[in-house]
């Protein structure tokens, strides 16, 4: 054991947790190396000085509580477009059931055309009134910009209960969607007054081991999201159509195609990983 290596064991030797051969080697080196003895004595002195840190009296500033409250108020005031704040959707999910509780719409990012970059304007101009999803890192993000004032409603397709609504003028809404429950959950996103809506299945926190099953296309999307940990969007008209599945492959697109290919649907997988089931 050399000098530098011996210094690595100062703490564990001081705490009595160095055992066996290492302890013997350390003590042998310590007994024969005067420089190490000096270093260790200084180390012990440092530990004793460090232990005085807990006795330091620290006065709490009188402005601390106000500063925390002000900062929290600022955060709550940020969304100025009349959508429910954090506490409201939390209260909401208590009455909308488990499926609704699964989703976390983080504070959405709103952007009016005035503040948008040229690239944003070009992109948003071509996508007006379209509900779009993208996968950003590990997060699913909902994007929507109406051409005229609209209300976007997020609900549970299984219970029909509303989870959240955004009152929009012509702002672009961009809201990350997270599912904090163990199992996947499915959500319906619909602008009020529009015929078209989107369904999206969001993976939960735990992967599903189930490889086989049968049910509706909606059930398939949940099974895919749970097993492959990838969000699945349904853009097909008949989501109640019965299908069966067997996830024998590691490729989610192949697995989904095998389940729906002979049923009048097709499957697309976008470069960001998002799986889309659509009418053929």
Which stretches of the chain bind another protein, using CB under 8 A? Answer: 7-12, 39, 42-43, 45-47, 49-54, 56, 58, 60-61, 63-65, 67-68, 70-72, 75, 86-88, 90-91, 94, 104, 106-107, 180
Q: Are 268 and 276 in contact (CB under 8 A)?
A: yes
Q: Are 235 and 277 in contact (CB under 8 A)?
A: yes
Q: Are 267 and 257 in contact (CB under 8 A)?
A: yes
Between residues 52 and 262, which has the closer beta carbon with respect to another protein?
52
- Biggest alpha carbon–alpha carbon distance for the chain: 86
Question: Smallest distance from the beta carbon of 94 to another protein, in angstroms?
Answer: 6
Question: Smallest distance from the beta carbon of 60 to another protein, in angstroms?
Answer: 5
Question: Smallest distance from the beta carbon of 167 to another protein, in angstroms?
Answer: 20
Between residues 174 and 272, which has the closer beta carbon with respect to another protein?
174
Q: Are 242 and 220 in contact (CB under 8 A)?
A: no
Question: Smallest distance from the beta carbon of 14 to another protein, in angstroms?
Answer: 9
Question: Smallest distance from the beta carbon of 189 to another protein, in angstroms?
Answer: 20
**Buried-state track 218-230, b at ≥16 Cβ within 10 A, e below 16:** bbbbbbbbbbbbb
Between residues 179 and 218, which has the closer beta carbon with respect to another protein?
179
What does DSSP say about strands 275-279 and 265-269: parallel, antiparallel, or unpaired? antiparallel
Beta bridge partners of 246: 212
Between residues 47 and 237, which has the closer beta carbon with respect to another protein?
47
**H or E segment at 85?**
none
Between residues 93 and 247, which has the closer beta carbon with respect to another protein?
93
């Amino acid at each position: 054991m050399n000098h530098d290596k011996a210094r690595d064991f100062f703490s564990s030797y001081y705490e009595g947790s160095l055992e066996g051969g290492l302890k013997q080697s350390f003590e042998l080196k310590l007994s024969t190396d005067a420089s190490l003895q000096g270093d260790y004595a200084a180390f012990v002195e440092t530990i004793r000085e460090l232990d005085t840190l807990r006795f330091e009296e620290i006065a709490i500033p009188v402005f601390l509580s106000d500063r925390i409250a002000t900062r929290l108020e600022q955060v709550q005031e940020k969304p100025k477009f009349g959508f429910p704040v954090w506490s409201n959707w939390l209260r909401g999910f208590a009455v909308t059931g488990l499926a609704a509780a699964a989703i976390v719409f983080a504070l959405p990012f709103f952007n009016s055309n005035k503040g948008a970059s040229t690239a944003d304007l070009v992109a948003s101009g071509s996508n007006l009134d379209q509900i779009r999803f993208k996968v950003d890192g590990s997060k699913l993000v909902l994007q929507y910009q109406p051409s005229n004032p609209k209300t976007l409603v997020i609900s549970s397709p299984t219970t029909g209960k509303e989870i959240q609504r955004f009152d929009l003028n012509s702002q672009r809404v961009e809201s990350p969607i997270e599912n904090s429950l163990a199992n996947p959950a499915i959500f319906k996103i619909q602008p009020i007054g529009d015929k078209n809506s989107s369904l999206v299945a969001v993976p939960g926190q735990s992967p599903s081991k189930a490889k086989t099953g049968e049910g509706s296309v909606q059930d398939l999307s949940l099974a895919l999201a749970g097993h492959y940990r990838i969000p699945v969007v349904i853009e097909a008209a008949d989501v109640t159509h019965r299908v069966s599945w067997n996830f024998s492959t590691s490729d989610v697109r192949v697995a989904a195609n095998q389940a729906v290919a002979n049923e009048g649907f097709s499957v697309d997988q976008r470069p960001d990983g998002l799986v889309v089931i659509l009418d053929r």
